[in-house]
Amino acid sequence: MKFLLIGNGAREHALGEAIVRSPQKPELVVFADKINPGLQKIATVYEKVDSLSDLVKLRELVEREKPELAVVGPEAPIAAGAADLLEELGVGCVAPKKSSARLESSKGFTRKLLQDYGIPGNPDFAVFVPGSETEKAMRDFMKSLNGEFVVKADGLKSGKGVKVVGDHLSGIDDGLHFAMSCLNEDGRVVVEEKLVGEEFSAMFLTDGKTLVALPVSQDHKRAFEDDKGPNTGGMGSYSDEKNSLPFLQPEDLTAAREITEQVLVALQKETGETFRGVMYGGFIVTKNGVRLIEYNARFGDPEALNVFPILKTDFVAVCQKVVAGELVSLPLEFEKMATVVKYAVPEGYPNNPVAGSPIKILGLPAGCQIFYAAVDVDSEGQVLTGTSRAIAVVGIAESLTAAEQISEAGMQKIEGRLFHRRDIGTPSLVEKRISHLKNLRGE
Protein backbone atom coordinates (compact mmCIF):
# COMPACT_ATOMS: atom_id res chain seq x y z
CA MET A 1 0.00 0.00 0.00
CA LYS A 2 1.12 3.55 -0.76
CA PHE A 3 -0.01 6.42 1.45
CA LEU A 4 0.29 10.01 0.21
CA LEU A 5 1.07 12.78 2.68
CA ILE A 6 0.85 16.41 1.53
CA GLY A 7 2.98 18.85 3.51
CA ASN A 8 6.33 19.03 5.25
CA GLY A 9 6.04 20.76 8.62
CA ALA A 10 6.21 19.32 12.13
CA ARG A 11 2.52 18.37 11.92
CA GLU A 12 3.28 16.34 8.77
CA HIS A 13 6.39 14.82 10.37
CA ALA A 14 4.14 13.59 13.22
CA LEU A 15 1.54 12.37 10.71
CA GLY A 16 4.25 10.55 8.75
CA GLU A 17 5.54 8.80 11.87
CA ALA A 18 1.98 7.67 12.68
CA ILE A 19 1.52 6.34 9.15
CA VAL A 20 4.75 4.33 8.96
CA ARG A 21 4.30 2.74 12.38
CA SER A 22 1.04 1.15 11.18
CA PRO A 23 1.11 -2.67 11.21
CA GLN A 24 -0.07 -2.43 7.59
CA LYS A 25 3.45 -1.19 6.70
CA PRO A 26 2.50 1.31 4.00
CA GLU A 27 5.03 3.04 1.78
CA LEU A 28 5.03 6.79 2.52
CA VAL A 29 4.86 9.14 -0.48
CA VAL A 30 5.44 12.79 0.49
CA PHE A 31 4.45 15.83 -1.59
CA ALA A 32 6.51 18.69 -0.16
CA ASP A 33 7.68 22.21 -0.93
CA LYS A 34 10.63 22.06 1.48
CA ILE A 35 13.01 19.41 2.75
CA ASN A 36 12.03 17.99 6.14
CA PRO A 37 14.92 15.75 7.24
CA GLY A 38 12.71 13.74 9.59
CA LEU A 39 10.08 13.06 6.94
CA GLN A 40 12.64 12.43 4.23
CA LYS A 41 14.19 9.70 6.38
CA ILE A 42 10.95 7.69 6.62
CA ALA A 43 9.53 8.37 3.14
CA THR A 44 9.82 5.95 0.23
CA VAL A 45 9.20 8.81 -2.21
CA TYR A 46 9.87 12.47 -1.35
CA GLU A 47 8.62 14.74 -4.13
CA LYS A 48 9.75 18.35 -3.69
CA VAL A 49 7.86 21.00 -5.66
CA ASP A 50 7.66 24.79 -5.59
CA SER A 51 4.15 24.96 -4.12
CA LEU A 52 1.93 22.54 -2.17
CA SER A 53 -1.02 24.06 -4.05
CA ASP A 54 0.38 23.04 -7.45
CA LEU A 55 -2.37 20.62 -8.47
CA VAL A 56 -0.72 19.87 -11.82
CA LYS A 57 2.36 18.51 -10.05
CA LEU A 58 0.14 16.70 -7.56
CA ARG A 59 -1.75 15.01 -10.40
CA GLU A 60 1.54 13.91 -11.97
CA LEU A 61 2.74 12.39 -8.68
CA VAL A 62 -0.54 10.56 -8.05
CA GLU A 63 -0.71 9.16 -11.58
CA ARG A 64 2.87 7.93 -11.27
CA GLU A 65 2.80 6.49 -7.72
CA LYS A 66 -0.89 5.47 -7.51
CA PRO A 67 -1.43 5.85 -3.73
CA GLU A 68 -4.56 4.34 -2.20
CA LEU A 69 -4.96 6.85 0.61
CA ALA A 70 -3.98 10.46 1.26
CA VAL A 71 -3.99 12.97 4.08
CA VAL A 72 -3.48 16.70 3.54
CA GLY A 73 -1.67 18.55 6.32
CA PRO A 74 -1.71 22.31 5.62
CA GLU A 75 -4.65 24.55 4.85
CA ALA A 76 -3.43 26.05 1.55
CA PRO A 77 -3.61 22.88 -0.61
CA ILE A 78 -6.96 22.00 0.98
CA ALA A 79 -8.33 25.45 0.05
CA ALA A 80 -6.85 25.05 -3.44
CA GLY A 81 -8.85 21.84 -4.01
CA ALA A 82 -6.36 19.02 -3.35
CA ALA A 83 -9.11 16.75 -1.99
CA ASP A 84 -11.30 17.45 -5.05
CA LEU A 85 -8.46 16.36 -7.33
CA LEU A 86 -7.66 13.25 -5.28
CA GLU A 87 -11.31 12.16 -5.33
CA GLU A 88 -11.36 12.64 -9.10
CA LEU A 89 -8.26 10.39 -9.34
CA GLY A 90 -9.81 7.72 -7.11
CA VAL A 91 -7.63 8.30 -4.06
CA GLY A 92 -9.35 8.15 -0.66
CA CYS A 93 -8.57 11.46 1.05
CA VAL A 94 -8.69 12.56 4.68
CA ALA A 95 -9.34 16.25 4.02
CA PRO A 96 -12.44 18.17 2.95
CA LYS A 97 -13.12 19.38 -0.58
CA LYS A 98 -12.65 23.02 -1.53
CA SER A 99 -16.23 24.14 -0.95
CA SER A 100 -16.39 22.60 2.54
CA ALA A 101 -12.90 23.94 3.35
CA ARG A 102 -14.41 27.45 3.38
CA LEU A 103 -15.02 26.54 7.03
CA GLU A 104 -11.39 27.65 7.44
CA SER A 105 -10.59 29.67 4.34
CA SER A 106 -13.38 32.20 4.97
CA LYS A 107 -14.06 33.51 8.47
CA GLY A 108 -17.13 35.30 7.15
CA PHE A 109 -18.56 32.11 5.62
CA THR A 110 -18.35 30.29 8.96
CA ARG A 111 -19.84 33.13 11.01
CA LYS A 112 -22.73 33.38 8.57
CA LEU A 113 -23.21 29.58 8.55
CA LEU A 114 -23.73 29.56 12.32
CA GLN A 115 -26.04 32.56 12.06
CA ASP A 116 -28.15 31.18 9.20
CA TYR A 117 -28.62 27.76 10.82
CA GLY A 118 -29.25 29.07 14.35
CA ILE A 119 -26.17 27.39 15.82
CA PRO A 120 -24.95 28.77 19.17
CA GLY A 121 -21.40 30.00 19.71
CA ASN A 122 -21.14 33.16 17.59
CA PRO A 123 -20.10 36.51 19.06
CA ASP A 124 -21.65 39.68 17.68
CA PHE A 125 -20.07 40.15 14.25
CA ALA A 126 -20.35 41.85 10.88
CA VAL A 127 -18.78 41.08 7.50
CA PHE A 128 -17.69 44.08 5.41
CA VAL A 129 -16.91 44.45 1.70
CA PRO A 130 -15.46 47.50 -0.11
CA GLY A 131 -17.85 50.40 -0.66
CA SER A 132 -18.22 54.14 -0.25
CA GLU A 133 -19.85 53.78 3.18
CA THR A 134 -17.77 50.84 4.43
CA GLU A 135 -15.33 52.76 6.61
CA LYS A 136 -18.15 54.64 8.37
CA ALA A 137 -20.13 51.40 8.85
CA MET A 138 -17.09 49.69 10.39
CA ARG A 139 -16.47 52.60 12.72
CA ASP A 140 -20.12 52.59 13.82
CA PHE A 141 -20.01 48.84 14.44
CA MET A 142 -16.78 49.09 16.45
CA LYS A 143 -18.39 51.83 18.55
CA SER A 144 -21.46 49.63 19.11
CA LEU A 145 -19.10 47.03 20.63
CA ASN A 146 -17.84 49.72 23.04
CA GLY A 147 -14.48 49.65 21.31
CA GLU A 148 -13.91 46.01 22.35
CA PHE A 149 -13.45 44.23 19.03
CA VAL A 150 -11.37 41.87 16.90
CA VAL A 151 -10.51 42.34 13.22
CA LYS A 152 -10.08 39.17 11.13
CA ALA A 153 -8.79 38.98 7.59
CA ASP A 154 -11.20 36.84 5.56
CA GLY A 155 -8.60 34.46 4.15
CA LEU A 156 -5.80 32.03 5.03
CA LYS A 157 -3.23 33.81 7.20
CA SER A 158 -1.73 30.95 9.29
CA GLY A 159 -3.03 32.44 12.53
CA LYS A 160 -1.50 35.84 11.78
CA GLY A 161 -4.45 37.66 10.19
CA VAL A 162 -6.21 38.40 13.47
CA LYS A 163 -5.71 41.53 15.57
CA VAL A 164 -7.36 42.21 18.92
CA VAL A 165 -7.94 45.62 20.46
CA GLY A 166 -5.86 46.00 23.62
CA ASP A 167 -3.37 43.38 22.43
CA HIS A 168 -2.42 44.36 18.87
CA LEU A 169 -4.66 47.37 18.23
CA SER A 170 -4.71 50.58 20.28
CA GLY A 171 -8.29 51.55 19.46
CA ILE A 172 -10.86 52.21 16.75
CA ASP A 173 -8.60 54.25 14.44
CA ASP A 174 -5.91 51.56 14.59
CA GLY A 175 -8.55 48.87 14.02
CA LEU A 176 -9.96 50.71 11.01
CA HIS A 177 -6.51 51.02 9.46
CA PHE A 178 -5.91 47.26 9.76
CA ALA A 179 -9.45 46.42 8.59
CA MET A 180 -9.04 48.57 5.48
CA SER A 181 -5.74 46.85 4.65
CA CYS A 182 -7.52 43.47 4.97
CA LEU A 183 -10.29 44.70 2.67
CA ASN A 184 -7.77 45.80 0.05
CA GLU A 185 -6.00 42.43 0.19
CA ASP A 186 -8.89 39.96 0.54
CA GLY A 187 -12.03 41.86 -0.52
CA ARG A 188 -13.79 41.03 2.77
CA VAL A 189 -13.08 41.54 6.45
CA VAL A 190 -14.82 40.38 9.63
CA VAL A 191 -15.17 42.59 12.70
CA GLU A 192 -16.47 40.92 15.81
CA GLU A 193 -16.96 41.25 19.54
CA LYS A 194 -13.84 40.68 21.65
CA LEU A 195 -14.34 37.56 23.76
CA VAL A 196 -12.67 37.27 27.17
CA GLY A 197 -11.90 33.89 28.67
CA GLU A 198 -9.68 30.84 28.19
CA GLU A 199 -9.16 29.29 24.77
CA PHE A 200 -8.96 25.60 23.94
CA SER A 201 -8.47 23.56 20.76
CA ALA A 202 -11.00 20.77 20.17
CA MET A 203 -10.23 18.65 17.10
CA PHE A 204 -12.74 16.14 15.76
CA LEU A 205 -12.10 13.52 13.10
CA THR A 206 -15.17 12.82 10.98
CA ASP A 207 -16.32 10.68 8.06
CA GLY A 208 -19.28 13.02 7.56
CA LYS A 209 -21.51 11.11 10.00
CA THR A 210 -19.52 10.23 13.11
CA LEU A 211 -17.46 12.73 15.11
CA VAL A 212 -14.51 11.37 17.11
CA ALA A 213 -12.92 13.73 19.65
CA LEU A 214 -9.12 13.93 19.78
CA PRO A 215 -7.20 15.03 22.90
CA VAL A 216 -7.99 18.63 23.80
CA SER A 217 -5.13 21.09 24.06
CA GLN A 218 -4.35 24.78 24.45
CA ASP A 219 -2.27 26.61 21.85
CA HIS A 220 -0.07 29.62 22.62
CA LYS A 221 -0.15 32.06 19.70
CA ARG A 222 1.83 34.93 21.21
CA ALA A 223 5.58 34.90 20.54
CA PHE A 224 6.88 35.70 24.02
CA GLU A 225 6.40 34.50 27.57
CA ASP A 226 3.40 35.64 29.61
CA ASP A 227 1.41 35.89 26.32
CA LYS A 228 3.24 38.95 25.06
CA GLY A 229 4.33 39.91 21.55
CA PRO A 230 2.92 39.35 18.05
CA ASN A 231 0.78 36.41 16.99
CA THR A 232 2.59 33.44 15.46
CA GLY A 233 1.64 30.12 13.91
CA GLY A 234 1.73 28.73 17.47
CA MET A 235 4.64 28.59 19.93
CA GLY A 236 3.48 25.39 21.62
CA SER A 237 0.60 23.63 23.33
CA TYR A 238 -0.20 21.29 26.20
CA SER A 239 -2.72 18.61 27.09
CA ASP A 240 -3.03 16.92 30.48
CA GLU A 241 -3.05 13.23 31.46
CA LYS A 242 -6.84 13.15 30.99
CA ASN A 243 -6.31 14.21 27.34
CA SER A 244 -7.97 17.48 28.33
CA LEU A 245 -7.08 20.71 30.18
CA PRO A 246 -7.09 21.42 33.92
CA PHE A 247 -9.42 24.41 33.66
CA LEU A 248 -12.13 22.75 31.56
CA GLN A 249 -15.35 21.27 32.90
CA PRO A 250 -17.28 18.43 31.21
CA GLU A 251 -19.99 20.82 30.05
CA ASP A 252 -17.38 22.91 28.17
CA LEU A 253 -16.37 19.88 26.12
CA THR A 254 -20.02 18.95 25.57
CA ALA A 255 -20.79 22.46 24.29
CA ALA A 256 -17.87 22.34 21.83
CA ARG A 257 -19.00 18.96 20.56
CA GLU A 258 -22.64 20.00 20.17
CA ILE A 259 -21.68 23.13 18.22
CA THR A 260 -19.43 21.06 15.94
CA GLU A 261 -22.13 18.42 15.36
CA GLN A 262 -24.55 21.13 14.26
CA VAL A 263 -21.92 22.81 12.07
CA LEU A 264 -21.17 19.48 10.34
CA VAL A 265 -24.86 19.04 9.45
CA ALA A 266 -25.22 22.68 8.34
CA LEU A 267 -22.04 22.56 6.27
CA GLN A 268 -23.19 19.49 4.38
CA LYS A 269 -26.60 21.07 3.71
CA GLU A 270 -24.91 24.25 2.52
CA THR A 271 -22.35 22.59 0.22
CA GLY A 272 -24.04 19.32 -0.71
CA GLU A 273 -20.76 17.58 0.12
CA THR A 274 -19.70 14.99 2.68
CA PHE A 275 -17.03 16.42 4.98
CA ARG A 276 -14.26 13.86 5.52
CA GLY A 277 -11.33 14.94 7.63
CA VAL A 278 -10.74 17.17 10.63
CA MET A 279 -13.00 19.82 12.09
CA TYR A 280 -10.74 21.72 14.45
CA GLY A 281 -12.59 24.23 16.57
CA GLY A 282 -10.83 27.01 18.39
CA PHE A 283 -13.18 27.66 21.31
CA ILE A 284 -13.14 30.01 24.29
CA VAL A 285 -14.80 29.57 27.68
CA THR A 286 -16.31 32.92 28.70
CA LYS A 287 -18.46 33.96 31.66
CA ASN A 288 -21.43 33.36 29.33
CA GLY A 289 -20.36 29.87 28.26
CA VAL A 290 -18.45 28.44 25.31
CA ARG A 291 -18.07 30.53 22.16
CA LEU A 292 -16.49 29.74 18.81
CA ILE A 293 -13.38 31.66 17.79
CA GLU A 294 -12.87 29.89 14.46
CA TYR A 295 -12.76 26.55 12.68
CA ASN A 296 -9.88 24.99 10.82
CA ALA A 297 -10.37 22.21 8.30
CA ARG A 298 -7.22 20.20 9.15
CA PHE A 299 -5.10 19.00 12.06
CA GLY A 300 -3.70 21.84 14.15
CA ASP A 301 -0.03 22.64 14.40
CA PRO A 302 1.13 22.42 17.20
CA GLU A 303 -1.98 20.59 18.48
CA ALA A 304 -1.41 17.53 16.28
CA LEU A 305 1.82 17.00 18.20
CA ASN A 306 -0.22 16.47 21.38
CA VAL A 307 -2.22 13.78 19.56
CA PHE A 308 -0.06 11.52 17.41
CA PRO A 309 2.68 10.59 19.90
CA ILE A 310 0.02 9.09 22.22
CA LEU A 311 -2.30 7.56 19.59
CA LYS A 312 -2.57 3.80 20.19
CA THR A 313 -4.93 2.96 17.30
CA ASP A 314 -3.54 2.18 13.84
CA PHE A 315 -3.75 5.55 12.08
CA VAL A 316 -3.87 3.99 8.61
CA ALA A 317 -6.91 1.95 9.69
CA VAL A 318 -8.49 5.16 11.03
CA CYS A 319 -8.00 6.86 7.66
CA GLN A 320 -9.50 3.86 5.87
CA LYS A 321 -12.61 4.12 8.06
CA VAL A 322 -12.90 7.88 7.46
CA VAL A 323 -12.82 7.36 3.68
CA ALA A 324 -15.27 4.42 3.83
CA GLY A 325 -17.72 6.29 6.07
CA GLU A 326 -17.29 3.65 8.80
CA LEU A 327 -15.55 5.61 11.55
CA VAL A 328 -18.19 4.52 14.04
CA SER A 329 -16.79 0.97 13.88
CA LEU A 330 -13.26 1.86 15.06
CA PRO A 331 -12.93 3.46 18.50
CA LEU A 332 -9.77 5.57 18.81
CA GLU A 333 -7.55 4.93 21.81
CA PHE A 334 -4.99 7.30 23.29
CA GLU A 335 -2.52 6.77 26.10
CA LYS A 336 -3.58 8.65 29.23
CA MET A 337 -0.45 10.77 29.18
CA ALA A 338 0.20 14.50 29.41
CA THR A 339 1.98 16.15 26.50
CA VAL A 340 3.77 19.51 26.32
CA VAL A 341 4.89 20.90 22.97
CA LYS A 342 7.39 23.76 22.71
CA TYR A 343 8.68 25.19 19.44
CA ALA A 344 12.29 26.26 18.95
CA VAL A 345 12.10 29.23 16.58
CA PRO A 346 14.80 31.39 14.93
CA GLU A 347 15.96 34.56 16.67
CA GLY A 348 13.82 37.48 15.47
CA TYR A 349 10.75 35.29 14.75
CA PRO A 350 8.07 36.08 13.61
CA ASN A 351 8.90 39.50 12.14
CA ASN A 352 12.65 39.27 11.32
CA PRO A 353 13.74 35.63 11.67
CA VAL A 354 17.42 34.76 11.31
CA ALA A 355 17.61 32.13 8.55
CA GLY A 356 20.55 29.92 7.57
CA SER A 357 21.90 29.47 11.10
CA PRO A 358 23.16 25.95 12.05
CA ILE A 359 21.10 23.78 14.43
CA LYS A 360 22.66 20.95 16.39
CA ILE A 361 20.75 18.33 18.43
CA LEU A 362 22.91 16.81 21.17
CA GLY A 363 20.66 13.95 22.33
CA LEU A 364 17.22 13.76 23.88
CA PRO A 365 15.98 12.70 27.34
CA ALA A 366 13.61 9.76 27.82
CA GLY A 367 9.97 10.61 27.05
CA CYS A 368 10.97 13.32 24.59
CA GLN A 369 10.29 13.44 20.85
CA ILE A 370 11.21 16.05 18.26
CA PHE A 371 9.56 16.92 14.98
CA TYR A 372 11.21 19.04 12.30
CA ALA A 373 9.29 22.01 10.95
CA ALA A 374 10.59 24.86 8.74
CA VAL A 375 14.30 24.02 8.49
CA ASP A 376 16.74 23.93 5.61
CA VAL A 377 19.44 21.34 4.98
CA ASP A 378 22.73 22.29 3.30
CA SER A 379 24.79 20.17 0.90
CA GLU A 380 26.66 18.56 3.80
CA GLY A 381 23.47 17.55 5.63
CA GLN A 382 23.69 20.32 8.26
CA VAL A 383 20.24 21.41 9.51
CA LEU A 384 19.75 25.20 9.32
CA THR A 385 17.09 27.60 10.53
CA GLY A 386 14.49 28.70 7.99
CA THR A 387 12.18 31.69 8.32
CA SER A 388 9.52 30.07 10.52
CA ARG A 389 9.22 27.62 13.43
CA ALA A 390 12.18 25.23 13.35
CA ILE A 391 11.79 22.22 15.66
CA ALA A 392 8.97 21.07 17.94
CA VAL A 393 9.99 19.38 21.17
CA VAL A 394 7.35 17.18 22.81
CA GLY A 395 7.54 16.01 26.42
CA ILE A 396 5.36 12.99 27.30
CA ALA A 397 4.73 11.88 30.89
CA GLU A 398 2.10 10.79 33.40
CA SER A 399 1.64 14.34 34.69
CA LEU A 400 1.64 17.78 33.12
CA THR A 401 4.46 18.96 35.38
CA ALA A 402 6.69 16.05 34.38
CA ALA A 403 5.85 16.43 30.68
CA GLU A 404 6.80 20.12 30.81
CA GLN A 405 10.10 19.33 32.51
CA ILE A 406 10.92 16.73 29.83
CA SER A 407 10.05 19.17 27.03
CA GLU A 408 12.25 21.83 28.60
CA ALA A 409 15.11 19.36 29.13
CA GLY A 410 14.85 18.35 25.48
CA MET A 411 14.93 21.99 24.41
CA GLN A 412 18.24 22.43 26.26
CA LYS A 413 19.75 19.76 23.99
CA ILE A 414 19.20 21.89 20.88
CA GLU A 415 21.95 24.36 20.00
CA GLY A 416 21.54 27.28 17.62
CA ARG A 417 20.33 30.85 17.28
CA LEU A 418 16.90 29.90 18.58
CA PHE A 419 14.49 30.81 21.35
CA HIS A 420 11.35 29.24 22.79
CA ARG A 421 8.60 29.98 25.29
CA ARG A 422 9.77 28.40 28.51
CA ASP A 423 6.45 29.03 30.26
CA ILE A 424 4.23 26.70 28.18
CA GLY A 425 2.79 23.96 30.39
CA THR A 426 4.46 25.24 33.56
CA PRO A 427 2.55 25.05 36.87
CA SER A 428 2.57 28.85 37.20
CA LEU A 429 1.02 29.46 33.76
CA VAL A 430 -1.51 26.63 34.14
CA GLU A 431 -2.55 27.96 37.56
CA LYS A 432 -2.96 31.42 36.04
CA ARG A 433 -5.38 29.94 33.48
CA ILE A 434 -7.35 28.10 36.18
CA SER A 435 -7.63 31.22 38.38
CA HIS A 436 -8.64 33.40 35.45
CA LEU A 437 -11.52 31.10 34.54
CA LYS A 438 -12.64 30.67 38.13
CA ASN A 439 -12.89 34.44 38.46
CA LEU A 440 -14.84 34.71 35.20
CA ARG A 441 -17.23 31.95 36.25
CA GLY A 442 -17.63 33.57 39.66
CA GLU A 443 -16.48 30.46 41.48
Residues 25 and 133 in one domain: no
**Residue 443 placed within a domain:** no
User: Residue 436: which H helix or E strand, with range?
Assistant: helix 427-441
Instruction: Name the nearest CA neighbour of 71 among 30, 42, 108.
Output: 30
Residues 294 and 274 in one domain: yes
- CA distances to 28, 137, 189 from 317, rounded to whole Å, are 15, 51, 40
Residues 316 and 206 in one domain: yes
**Residue 89 placed within a domain:** yes
**Residue 299 placed within a domain:** yes
Instruction: Name the nearest CA neighbour of 7 among 59, 78, 99, 68.
Output: 78
Looking at the 3D structure of the chain, how many domains does it have? 4
Residues 228 and 309 in one domain: yes
CATH number of domain containing 317: 3.30.470.20
CATH number of domain containing 74: 3.40.50.20
Write down the pLDDT at residue 159: 54
Write down the pLDDT at residue 160: 62
Residues 53 and 171 in one domain: no
**Residue 80 placed within a domain:** yes
Report which residue type is found at 99: S
Residues 73 and 172 in one domain: no
Low pLDDT (below 70) residues in the chain: 157-160
**Residue 108 placed within a domain:** no
**Residue 61 placed within a domain:** yes
Last residue of a domain, one of 160, 193, 226: 193
CATH number of domain containing 163: 3.30.1490.20
Instruction: State the Cα–Cα distance between residues 10 and 76, nearest whole angstrom.
Output: 16
Write down the pLDDT at residue 175: 96
Residues 379 and 320 in one domain: no
Last residue of a domain, one of 329, 364, 383: 329
Instruction: State the Cα–Cα distance between residues 362 and 410, nearest whole angstrom.
Output: 9
Q: Enter the pTM of the model.
A: 0.95
183-232 pLDDT, tens digit per residue, is: 998 899 999 999 999 999 999 999 999 999 999 999 999 999 999 998 89
Last residue of a domain, one of 306, 329, 352: 329
Residues 202 and 317 in one domain: yes
96-138 pLDDT, tens digit per residue, is: 999 999 999 999 999 999 999 999 999 999 999 999 899 999 9
Residues 398 and 375 in one domain: yes
**Residue 218 placed within a domain:** yes
CATH number of domain containing 359: 3.90.600.10
Residues 148 and 273 in one domain: no
Q: H helices of 161-293, where?
A: 172-186, 250-271
Residues 324 and 350 in one domain: no
**Residue 111 placed within a domain:** no
Instruction: State the Cα–Cα distance between residues 358 and 423, nearest whole angstrom.
Output: 25
Q: Which residues contact 285 (CB under 8 A, 6 or more apart)?
A: 197, 198, 200, 247, 248, 252, 437, 440
End-to-end CA distance of the chain: 54
* Residue 162: domain span: 124-193
Residues 359 and 419 in one domain: yes
Sign of the alpha-carbon torsion through 185, 190, 193, 198: negative
Report which residue type is found at 290: V
DSSP label at residue 329:
G
